[in-house]
């Protein structure tokens, strides 16, 4: 005879086991995350917390950090969704241990990420090093575009920003006049406390966006002026000055014409004075008089021709600029009024996103050892800074790596030798990046398939660059160069794919570069922590050994 159904009694007072440790199996990853955070030095998170005094007790920062780690690792970045899960999800309830932080608590805690996330990233890196991770023989640098918490539609050109700023100023003036009429001067009525003001309110963001455009234009003008001054200094020192900078070509050519003309006129005046003295003394004029006027001298005529040539170049540049402006589809330089620090970033396959360009250095075994969130649309300028950051991370890992087992005969597997080879794609290729100080490197001078085809005699490959680029091109044609560079894709791009596809993080939640950069650093730290779990390095036994 078949058995009946199990009873469904929702009036039963308590369904969970009384011991929270029985809610989830011992091998559940949430226990590993809780214990891992407990082993880290989280004093920076505690430093800014207020304890004691009137009011309710605060939430333990270690608990809130663990909640955020678990949430980000499982595609949850909304503070309100985190609050909901802390009430309904068993893993979150285990982390909270009976506490129920609301979304405001989570948001306020996350607001303090700048300066704290970097320390947490370092603590996770130290933990991974203590677990034996961080193989540094080969590292790879790669950039990844990540969307900001802003829309492309919120971009405005300088004219639009000035119009918005004027509208905001007029609205404030009207509001002030209305309040003065209602409450009297100096009193606004229902005033908002100063500490409650939002420094990133809409009018503040408009001002920041406009200031960014103006600063960019001023920096470009300063760079042009510096190039012109450098050209003048090389000329004055008698060095080969090369071609004059386009932006200052006319002014520099006119300066040279004036200088050559003055020098020739000085020679004429000197000859005239000496000729007058000769006539007065001997009654005979001097021979070989200089050509007069000064404008007839060959050097003066050549300098005048350079002025005309520079003016023609300037007119042609202005004509091309006008054509580009007429044919341009977009409005030109823009800034975003939602997140003024974000930029329009070109993405693979065409199109743009409003976001940032994240630079990551990854170790041979998949740890992100150095990361930086930038507003640059290209990667080239970040090779040298990221190599410096990678060397610092290598020193940190080496200082906390466990001593090799004498009985293994491996001598540590060569892990303590530091960085042997750095790999980067063609976006980082330049003479400066190929010759700067740092570890040995392979930087592509084109697409990998083209390089390998050229190496096997099936094509010519790219043909550009100076001495260092040509030497790198020849090195990448060798079997050793091909085999080494083939590791780049797996090492560099796997973490990016994991963050976007497995963790589901395609857009940052925080606005402004300091907060967005801190959030990105926190995301990379979470990725490293779960890499340790999925590879079997972070286990209950390993944690027990570290704690002992």
> And the tokens for 4?
């009946």
CB 297 within 8 A of CB 268: no
User: Domain for residue 525, yes or no?
Assistant: no
Closest CA to 253 of 268, 263, 243, 262: 243
Token duo for residue 124: 């996770």
- The whole-angstrom separation of Cα 357 and Cα 151 is 16
Question: What pLDDT, on a 0 to 100 scale, did the predictor assign at position 275?
Answer: 83
Q: What is the pLDDT of residue 80?
A: 94
Give residue 193's pLDDT: 44
For residues 351 and 468, state if they share a domain.
yes
Q: Which domain holds residue 44?
A: 20-112
Burial class (CB in 10 A: 0-12, 13-18, 19+), 48: exposed
With 0-12 CB in 10 A as exposed, 13-18 as middle and 19+ as buried, what is 110?
buried
Local structure of 346: helix, strand or coil? strand
Kindly write down the DSSP assignment for every residue of 411-444, as one continuous string.
GGGGGGG---EEEE-GGG--HHHHHSSSSEEEE-
Q: What is the pLDDT of residue 318?
A: 76
Same structural domain, 141 and 163: no
What pLDDT was estimated at residue 406?
Answer: 61
Sign of CA dihedral 284, 288, 291, 297: negative
> For residue 41, what is the DSSP state?
-
Residue 250 confidence (pLDDT): 77
Residue 230 lies in a domain: yes
Predicted local distance difference test score (pLDDT) of residue 169 = 58
pLDDT at 3 over 80: no
Q: Which residues pair with 157 in a beta bridge?
A: 334
Q: Give me the pLDDT at residue 197, please.
A: 39
The domain boundary residue, chosen from 300, 315, 335: 335
Work out the pLDDT band at 264, boundaries 50, 70, 90.
confident
Residues 291 and 358 in one domain: no
pLDDT in tens, 183-200: 555 544 444 444 333 444
Burial class of 227 by CB neighbour count within 10 A (0 to 12, 13 to 18, 19+): middle
pTM: 0.73
Query: How many whole angstroms separate alpha carbon 266 and alpha carbon 261?
Result: 8
429 and 490 part of one domain:
yes
- Determine the pLDDT at residue 500: 92
pLDDT per residue as tens digits for the range 439-452: 999 999 877 666 66
Q: With a cut of 60, say whether residue 143 has pLDDT above it.
A: yes
**Region 118-134 average pLDDT:** 94
> How many residues in the chain?
548
Tell me what pLDDT residue 435 has. Answer: 92
Q: What is the pLDDT of residues 339-393, one digit of tens each?
A: 888 888 888 888 888 999 999 999 999 999 999 999 999 999 999 999 999 999 9
Structure-block tokens of residue 28: 């559940």
Q: Are residues 35 and 57 in the same domain?
A: yes
Cα separation, 230 vs 547, whole angstroms: 60
Q: Note the pLDDT tens digit of each residue in 31-47.
A: 999 999 999 988 888 88
> How many domains does the structure of the chain reveal?
3
User: What was the pLDDT predicted at 293?
Assistant: 83
428 lies in the same domain as 450: yes
The span from the CA of 97 to the CA of 419, in Å, is 42
Pair of tokens at residue 211: 């200031």
Select the more confidently predicted residue: 92 or 323. 92
pLDDT of residue 192: 42
How many whole angstroms from its chain centre is CA 253?
A: 39
> Taking 50 as the threshold, does the pLDDT of residue 412 lie above it?
no
Q: Chain-wide mean pLDDT for the chain? A: 81
Within a domain: residue 449?
yes
Could you say which DSSP state residue 295 is in?
A: G
Pairing of strands 440-443, 421-424: parallel
Q: What is the mean pLDDT of residues 123-141?
A: 94
Cβ partners under 8 Å of residue 185, min gap 6 = none
Residues 349/341, Cβ–Cβ less than 8 Å = no
Note the pLDDT of residue 236. Answer: 63
- Token pair 């290729």 is found at 429
Determine how β-strand 343-346 pairs with β-strand 352-362: antiparallel
Looking at the structure, tell me whether residues 74 and 29 fall in a common domain.
Answer: yes
Query: Residue 112 burial by CB count (10 A; 0-12/13-18/19+): exposed, middle or buried?
Result: middle
Residue 7 lies in a domain: no
Mark out the alpha helices in 149-201 (DSSP H runs). 158-183
**Average pLDDT of span 113-138:** 92
Which comes out higher in pLDDT, residue 371 or 265? 371
**Chosen domain end from 318, 335, 352:** 335
Domain-located, residue 248: yes
pLDDT at 200: 46
Do residues 88 and 168 share a domain? no
224 versus 490: the higher-pLDDT residue is: 490
| Domain assignment present for 386 | yes
- In this model, does residue 413 exceed pLDDT 60? no
Same domain? For 506 and 433 the reply is: yes
Position 398 scores a pLDDT of 92
Residue 328 and residue 345 in one domain: no
All residues at 6 or more sequence positions from 315 whose CB lies less than 8 Å from its CB, including other chains: none
User: Would you state the pLDDT for residue 194?
Assistant: 43
Q: What is the pLDDT of residue 237?
A: 65
Residues facing 358 on adjacent strands: 144, 373
Are 313 and 366 in a shared domain? Answer: no
Angle between helices 513-534 and 29-39 (to 10 degrees): 120
Residue 109 has pLDDT above 60, yes or no: yes
DSSP state for residue 507 in the 8-state scheme: B
State the SS3 of 309-357. Answer: HHHHHHHHHHHHHHHHHHHCCCCCCEEECCCCCCEEEECCCCCEEEEEE
Q: From 393, 546, 531, select the one nearest 39 (Cα to Cα).
A: 546
**Is cis: bond before 410, omega within 30 of 0?**
no
| 202 occurs within a structural domain | yes
pLDDT band of 85, cuts 50, 70, 90: very high
**Structural domain contains residue 117:** no
Residue 370 bridge partners (DSSP): 361
Indicate if the pLDDT at residue 226 is higher than 50: yes
Q: Residue range 506-515: average pLDDT?
A: 91
Rounded alpha-carbon distances, angstroms, from residue 11 to 8, 14, 87, 93: 9, 9, 19, 22
pLDDT at 403 over 80: no
Do residue 360 and residue 503 come from a single domain? yes
């Amino acid at each position: 005879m078949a058995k009946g159904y199990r009873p469904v009694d929702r009036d039963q007072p308590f369904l969970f086991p009384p011991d929270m440790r029985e809610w989830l199996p011992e091998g559940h990853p949430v226990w590993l995350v809780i214990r891992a955070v407990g082993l880290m030095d989280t004093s920076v998170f505690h430093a800014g917390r207020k304890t004691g005094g009137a009011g309710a007790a605060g939430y333990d920062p270690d608990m809130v950090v663990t909640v955020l780690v678990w949430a980000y690792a499982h595609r949850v970045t909304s503070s309100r969704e985190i609050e909901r899960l802390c009430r309904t999800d068993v893993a979150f309830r285990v982390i909270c241990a009976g506490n129920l932080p609301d979304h405001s608590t989570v948001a306020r805690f996350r607001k303090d990420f700048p300066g704290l996330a970097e320390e947490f990233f370092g603590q996770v890196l130290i933990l991974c090093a203590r677990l034996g991770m961080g193989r540094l023989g080969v590292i790879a640098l790669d950039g990844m575009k990540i969307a900001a918490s802003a829309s492309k539609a919120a971009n405005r050109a300088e004219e639009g920003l000035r119009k918005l700023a004027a509208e905001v100023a007029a609205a404030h003036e009207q509001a002030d006049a209305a309040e003065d009429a209602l409450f009297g001067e100096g009193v606004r009525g229902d005033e908002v406390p100063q500490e409650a003001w939002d420094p990133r309110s809409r009018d503040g963001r408009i001002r920041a966006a406009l200031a960014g455009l103006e600063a960019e234009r001023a920096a470009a003008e300063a760079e042009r002026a510096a190039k012109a001054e450098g050209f003048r200094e090389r000329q004055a020192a008698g060095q080969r000055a090369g071609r004059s900078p386009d932006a200052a070509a006319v002014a520099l050519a006119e300066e040279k014409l004036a200088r050559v003309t003055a020098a020739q006129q000085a020679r004429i005046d000197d000859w005239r004075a000496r000729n007058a003295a000769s006539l007065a003394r001997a009654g005979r004029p001097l021979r070989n008089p200089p050509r007069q006027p000064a404008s007839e001298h060959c050097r003066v005529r050549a300098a005048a021709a350079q002025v005309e040539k520079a003016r023609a170049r300037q007119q042609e540049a202005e004509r091309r600029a006008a054509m580009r402006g007429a044919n341009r589809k977009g409005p030109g330089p823009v800034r975003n009024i939602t997140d003024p620090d974000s930029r329009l970033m070109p993405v693979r396959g065409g199109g743009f996103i409003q976001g940032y360009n994240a630079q990551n250095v990854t170790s041979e075994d998949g740890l992100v050892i150095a990361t930086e969130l930038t507003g640059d649309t290209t990667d080239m300028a970040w090779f040298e800074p990221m190599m410096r950051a990678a060397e610092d991370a290598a020193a940190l890992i080496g200082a906390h790596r466990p001593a090799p087992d004498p009985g293994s005969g491996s001598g540590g597997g060569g892990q303590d030798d530091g960085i042997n080879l750095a790999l980067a794609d063609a976006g980082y290729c330049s003479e400066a990046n190929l010759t700067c100080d740092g570890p040995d490197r392979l930087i592509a001078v084109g697409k990998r398939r083209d390089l390998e085809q050229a190496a096997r005699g099936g094509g010519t490959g790219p043909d550009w660059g100076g001495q260092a680029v040509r030497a790198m091109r020849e090195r990448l044609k060798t079997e050793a160069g091909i085999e080494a560079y083939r590791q780049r894709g797996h090492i560099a791009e796997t973490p990016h794919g994991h963050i976007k596809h497995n963790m589901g993080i395609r857009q940052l939640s925080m606005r402004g570069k300091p907060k967005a950069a801190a959030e990105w650093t926190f995301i990379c730290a979470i990725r490293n922590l779960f890499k340790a779990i999925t590879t079997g390095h972070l286990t209950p036994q390993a944690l027990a050994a570290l704690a002992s």
